[in-house]
Amino acid sequence: MIGLAHALDISKWALFTNQLAINVVGHNIANVNTPGYSRQNLQLEATVPENYYPGQIGGGVKANAVKRSYDRFLGVQINNELQPLGYWEAKSDFYKQMEVVFNEAEGNRLNGAMNDFWDAWQQVADDPSNTTARITLLTNAQDMAAMFNHTYENLFQLRKDSNDQVKYAVSEINRLSDEIAGLNKQIAQAELASQDANDFRDQRDLRLNELAQWVDIQYFENDIGEVNVFTSGGRTLVQSVYSTHLGVTEDATNHGFYRVTWNSEGSVPTDVTDSLSQGKLKGYLDMRDTDIPDAMHELDRVAAGIVNEVNKRHYFGYGLNGTTNVNFFDPIEATATAAYENDGDAGITGRIYDPTILSRDDYKIDFITGSTYKITNDATGEVVGFQIRSGANDQIVFNDGGGDTTLTLTAGAYSADQLASEIEAQLEANSSSGQEYTVKWDDQNQHFLITNDSGNANPLVLR
Q: How far apart are CA 109 and CA 132, in angstroms?
A: 24
Q: Any idea what the Cα angle at residue 261 is, between residues 259 and 262, rounded to 5°?
A: 165
* Secondary element (H or E) of residue 396: strand 395-399
Sheet with 257-263: strands ordered across: 245-251, 257-263, 270-271
Could you tell me the residue ranges of all domains in the chain? Answer: 4-69, 75-288, 388-462
Identity (one letter) of the amino acid at 307? Answer: V
Q: How far apart are CA 290 and CA 275, in angstroms?
A: 16
- pLDDT attached to residue 414: 78
Strands (E), 47-154: 61-68
- Is 32 a residue whose pLDDT tops 60? yes
Closest CA to 292 of 82, 113, 110, 102: 102
Greatest distance between any 2 Cα atoms in the chain: 131
- The pairing of beta strand 227-231 with beta strand 236-239: antiparallel
Mean pLDDT of 196-201: 91
Are 259 and 282 spatial neighbours (Cβ–Cβ below 8 Å)? no
For the ranges 22-31, 167-176, 435-444, the lowest mean pLDDT is seen at 435-444
- The pairing of beta strand 373-377 with beta strand 386-388: unpaired
Gap between the terminal Cα atoms of the chain: 109
pTM value is 0.74
Q: Which residues pair with 46 in a beta bridge?
A: 61
Q: How confident is the model at residue 273 (pLDDT cuts 50, 70, 90)?
A: very high
Q: How far apart are CA 84 and CA 276, in angstroms?
A: 12
Q: In whole numbers, what is the pLDDT of the chain averaged over residues?
A: 85
Mean pLDDT of 296-304: 89
213/313: higher pLDDT: 213
Alpha-carbon distances of 39 from 42, 79, 173, 341, 362, rounded to whole Å? 10, 19, 28, 52, 56
Closest CA to 29 of 40, 17, 19, 44: 40
- pLDDT attached to residue 380: 74
- Is 311 a residue whose pLDDT tops 70? yes
pLDDT digits (tens, 9 = 90+) for 223-268: 999 999 999 888 999 999 999 999 999 998 888 999 999 998 878 8
Phi, psi of 170 (to 5 degrees): -60, -40
In percent, the amount of the chain with pLDDT more than 90 equals: 42
* Secondary element (H or E) of residue 416: helix 416-430
Alpha-carbon distances of 268 from 242, 262, 264, 271, rounded to whole Å? 18, 9, 7, 10
Environment class of 257 (CB within 10 Å of its CB; exposed 0-12, middle 13-18, buried 19+): buried
- pLDDT attached to residue 274: 92
Q: How far apart are CA 8 and CA 16, in angstroms?
A: 12
pLDDT digits (tens, 9 = 90+) for 365-396: 777 666 666 777 777 777 777 778 777 778 88
Find how far residue 360's CA is from the centre of its chain: 21
Are 369 and 309 spatial neighbours (Cβ–Cβ below 8 Å)? no
- Is 427 a residue whose pLDDT tops 90? no
Are 155 and 281 spatial neighbours (Cβ–Cβ below 8 Å)? no
Q: Over the range 270-308, which residues count as b (16 or more CB within 10 Å of their CB) and which as e? A: eebbebbebbbbbbbbbbbbebbbebbbebbeebbebbb
Mean pLDDT of 335-354: 66
Q: How far apart are CA 261 and CA 120, in angstroms?
A: 53
Q: How far apart are CA 193 and CA 180, in angstroms?
A: 20
- Is 457 a residue whose pLDDT tops 70? no
For the ranges 296-305, 349-358, 426-435, the lowest mean pLDDT is seen at 349-358
SS3 label, residue 148 = helix
39/385: higher pLDDT: 39
The DSSP annotation for 317-367 comes to S--TTS--S--SSPPP-------TT--S--------S-GGG-----EEEEE
